[in-house]
Every structure is written in structure tokens, then in C-alpha cells.
């Protein structure tokens, strides 16, 4: 049977050497048959190191659920880097990300991106979303961890104005706290929204290792659907506390970063990227993703920290060490996260 050629393929053949994207981009740079792109419509400074970047949803964009994140691609010196960012607006509004400058890609977004620039995007994803049925809520956030919660609160403000929500946001100083005026205004206008700002510069770290602080600030915290997003230590403490109190089912967490375990690196080995026909010697501290990229193998990636699972790649042979736990694992056919896996002996990857 003759295979029907997709329209993009036919146009590509007719327009060679230009790709169909090059032609369509002349009319609308947001169009791409392969990779959605969005045009930045506004950049709002939220603080000395933070900016909200709004963009027009690209054609065919699936509306996000409040709390979800997108993979954003940014070109720096001709290389496209991908990172994950939570959407901070409510569904139905033009999407936006709110980025704090802490490194290479966030720095580029906060300091250089302007109205009219084009960003590369993947569809929204993530499980850190509002519960389907109304419940009293407790949102605990630290630093930029407020961004997905902002999307939830903006959504609730439009759809469930009587929602019972306690927001406990930790920041070093009031000047560092994001969206603080909007949160205060929301708490004043919505009868059941309470906003508490925890200033760690004055009050010390928000302690979630024991029940004391929560019992004092939100006595019914065990009964609420709790959402925690913030620094790694805060999320880990919350996970332990809710589990110890038998309330683990009430807790939903989002991590923005994950540390690697300390200690000596493993042995490393020879990594074969079977489909790319490449072979490279890799030490036990280098991830398979880094090794592949350095050798010119195109591997998918997103957060590069073991969270988003964009980098899952099939293991054909060998075992790998998970650099976030130290665990050595892997059977042929397993999907492994190349961004946090180093070879533990010789490895073959389906890439």
C-alpha cells in the first residue's frame, strides 16, 4: 500500500533546500511543524532577580491546568537549552512563566528576553494541580516555589471565590517575596483566603521538621489538601512530616531541584549509543546525558535534575548509578533518566 505523505513532507520536498518551517516562519514565527514557539508579549519585573514573561499561546497550544509547568527552550550562543518553568497565570489567560535568575538559562530569561522575542515550548505537563473537588487547602511555598501556587490562586479567585485557602509563603525579606501585594489583596477581598508571609531573614528558617510551627499557624493543617513547593530541604521536611503524621495522602509536592549524593564517584565505563553508532569512555561522575551531548549525540532533556522524565532513554545493556540516591540499577529494556545516571560499568543505550 502506498504511504500517504504528510503535507509538511510534501512542502519540504518542493521548497528544498529550505525546510517547511523556514517558509512558514516568514509569515508567523510561532508556527513550527516540529517545535511550538511562542512570541513574548510582555516582560514584568517582579523583583531584583525575578521577571514574569508573558507570551501568546502558540497555535494548537493545549491549555494548562493551574499548577502545571512547561519545558522552555532558549538559544544561547547558538545552542538551545531546555529548562522547566511553572506557569504562573490562570488557564484561559495568556500563559506566563515567572523566573528567578540563579544560573545560565534563568539569567538569560530574566536579563535578556524582551517583548517580541520567540521562546521554544513543549506542552504543559505535571501532576501538581488543584484537587478536582473543593476542599480546604494549605499552600506552603518558598522563594520561586510560589509560581505554580499563584496560578492555582488566580484560578480559584475566578472560579471559586469562597475557597478556603491558607497560603504560607517563605521568603528571606519582604522585598524578596514574590506577588506579595497581590496575595495581600486577595486575602482582603476573598473571605476565606488567609495569606501569611514567613520572613526567614527575621524569623529563621520555616521549620517543617516538627509539627510545632504548623500547629500554631494553621491548627487544622492535617485535614487540608496541602501543596508544598519550594527549596529541596523544605519539600523533603514536609514529605517526612506528613508521612509521620499519617497524612501523606493529603500532601502534593513539586520539586524545582534535587541534589546529588555526596561521596566518591562510581567506576564509570564505556558508553555505547547504539543508534548513533558512538562509543565514549565516561567516568562515574559524568551523566549519560552530559557524555552524549559532549559526543554530539542528540538526547532529549528538560530539567536535567531527575524530575521531569523528559530524558528517559532505553537501556540496552549494563547498569547505571543514580547520582541522586547512589543506587546502582538497570536491566535491559528499562527506561532510565540519563540526566542523573552515570555508567556503573559498560553501558549500551538505545540512542
Residues that bind ligand FAD (CB under 6 A): 69, 83-86, 97-100, 102-107, 144, 147, 254, 256-257, 303, 307-308
| Closest CB to ligand FAD among residues 326, 332 | 326
- Rounded CA-CA distance 318/331 in Å is 7
| Closest CB to ligand FAD among residues 38, 99 | 99
Provide the Cα torsion 188, 69, 334, 322; round to 10°: -70
| Closest CB to ligand FES among residues 87, 165 | 87
| Closest CB to ligand FAD among residues 85, 221 | 85
According to the binding rule CB under 6 A, does residue 308 interact with ligand FES?
yes
| Closest CB to ligand FAD among residues 190, 226 | 226
- Rounded CA-CA distance 13/15 in Å is 6
| Closest CB to ligand FAD among residues 83, 250 | 83
Residue 147's binding partner among ligand FES, ligand FAD, none (Cβ under 5 to 8 angstroms by kind) is ligand FAD
Interface map 211-250 toward ligand FES (x if CB under 6 A): ----------------------------------------
| Closest CB to ligand FES among residues 240, 309 | 309
Interface map 262-301 toward ligand FES (x if CB under 6 A): ---------------------------------------x
Based on C-alpha coordinates, what's the Rg of the chain? 23
Among 66, 311, 342, 347, binds ligand FES (CB under 6 A): 311
And the C-alpha cell for 313?
532513554
Residue 306's binding partner among ligand FES, ligand FAD, none (Cβ under 5 to 8 angstroms by kind) is ligand FES
Minimum distance from CB of 308 to ligand FES (Å)?
Answer: 4
Minimum distance from CB of 176 to ligand FAD (Å)?
Answer: 13
According to the binding rule CB under 6 A, does residue 309 interact with ligand FES?
yes
According to the binding rule CB under 6 A, does residue 321 interact with ligand FES?
no
According to the binding rule CB under 6 A, does residue 143 interact with ligand FES?
no
**Shortest Cβ contact with ligand FAD: which residue?**
103
Q: Which stretch binds ligand FES (CB under 6 A): 26-34, 53-61, 85-93, 305-313?
A: 305-313
According to the binding rule CB under 6 A, does residue 5 interact with ligand FES?
no
Minimum distance from CB of 270 to ligand FES (Å)?
Answer: 22
Long-range contacts of range 175-180, CB-CB < 8 Å, 24 or more positions apart? 175/47, 175/48, 176/47, 176/143, 178/46, 178/47, 178/50, 178/98, 178/143, 178/144, 178/146, 178/147, 178/150, 179/46, 179/146, 179/150
- Name the residues that contact ligand FES, by CB under 6 A: 301-304, 306-311, 337, 339
Amino acid at each position: 500500500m502506498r504511504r500517504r505523505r504528510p503535507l509538511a513532507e510534501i512542502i519540504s520536498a518542493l521548497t528544498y533546500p529550505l525546510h517547511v518551517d523556514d517558509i512558514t516562519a516568514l509569515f508567523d514565527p510561532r508556527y513550527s511543524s516540529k517545535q511550538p514557539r511562542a512570541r513574548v508579549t510582555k516582560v514584568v519585573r517582579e523583583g531584583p532577580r525575578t521577571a514574569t514573561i508573558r507570551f501568546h499561546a502558540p497555535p494548537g497550544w493545549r491549555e494548562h491546568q493551574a499548577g502545571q509547568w512547561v519545558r522552555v527552550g532558549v538559544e544561547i550562543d547558538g545552542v538551545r537549552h531546555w529548562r522547566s518553568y511553572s506557569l504562573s497565570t490562570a488557564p484561559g489567560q495568556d500563559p506566563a512563566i515567572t523566573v528567578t535568575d540563579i544560573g545560565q538559562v534563568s539569567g538569560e530569561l530574566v536579563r535578556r528576553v524582551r517583548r517580541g522575542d520567540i521562546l521554544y515550548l513543549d506542552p504543559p505537563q505535571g501532576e501538581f494541580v488543584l484537587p478536582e473537588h473543593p476542599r480546604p487547602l494549605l499552600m506552603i511555598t518558598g522563594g520561586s516555589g510560589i509560581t505554580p501556587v499563584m496560578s492555582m490562586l488566580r484560578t480559584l479567585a475566578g472560579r471559586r471565590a469562597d475557597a478556603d485557602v491558607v497560603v504560607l509563603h517563605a521568603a528571606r525579606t519582604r522585598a524578596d517575596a514574590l506577588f506579595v501585594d497581590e496575595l495581600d489583596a486577595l486575602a482582603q477581598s476573598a473571605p476565606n483566603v488567609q495569606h501569611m508571609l514567613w520572613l526567614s531573614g527575621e524569623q529563621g528558617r520555616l521549620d517543617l521538621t516538627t509539627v510545632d510551627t504548623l500547629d500554631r499557624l494553621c491548627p487544622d493543617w492535617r485535614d487540608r489538601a496541602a501543596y508544598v513547593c519550594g527549596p529541596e530541604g523544605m519539600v523533603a521536611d514536609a514529605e517526612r512530616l506528613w508521612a509521620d503524621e499519617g497524612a501523606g495522602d493529603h500532601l502534593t509536592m513539586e520539586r524545582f531541584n534535587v541534589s546529588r549524593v555526596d561521596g566518591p564517584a562510581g567506576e564509570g565505563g564505556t558508553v555505547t549509543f547504539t543508534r548513533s553508532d558512538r562509543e565514549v569512555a565516561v567516568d562515574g561522575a559524568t551523566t549519560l546525558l552530559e557524555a552524549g551531548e559532549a559526543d554530539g549525540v542528540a538526547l532529549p532533556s528538560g530539567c536535567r535534575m531527575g524530575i521531569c522524565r523528559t530524558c528517559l532513554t532505553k537501556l540496552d545493556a549494563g547498569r547505571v548509578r543514580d547520582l541522586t540516591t547512589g543506587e546502582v540499577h538497570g536491566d535491559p529494556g528499562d527506561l532510565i533518566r540519563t540526566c542523573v545516571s552515570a555508567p556503573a560499568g559498560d553501558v549500551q543505550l538505545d540512542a
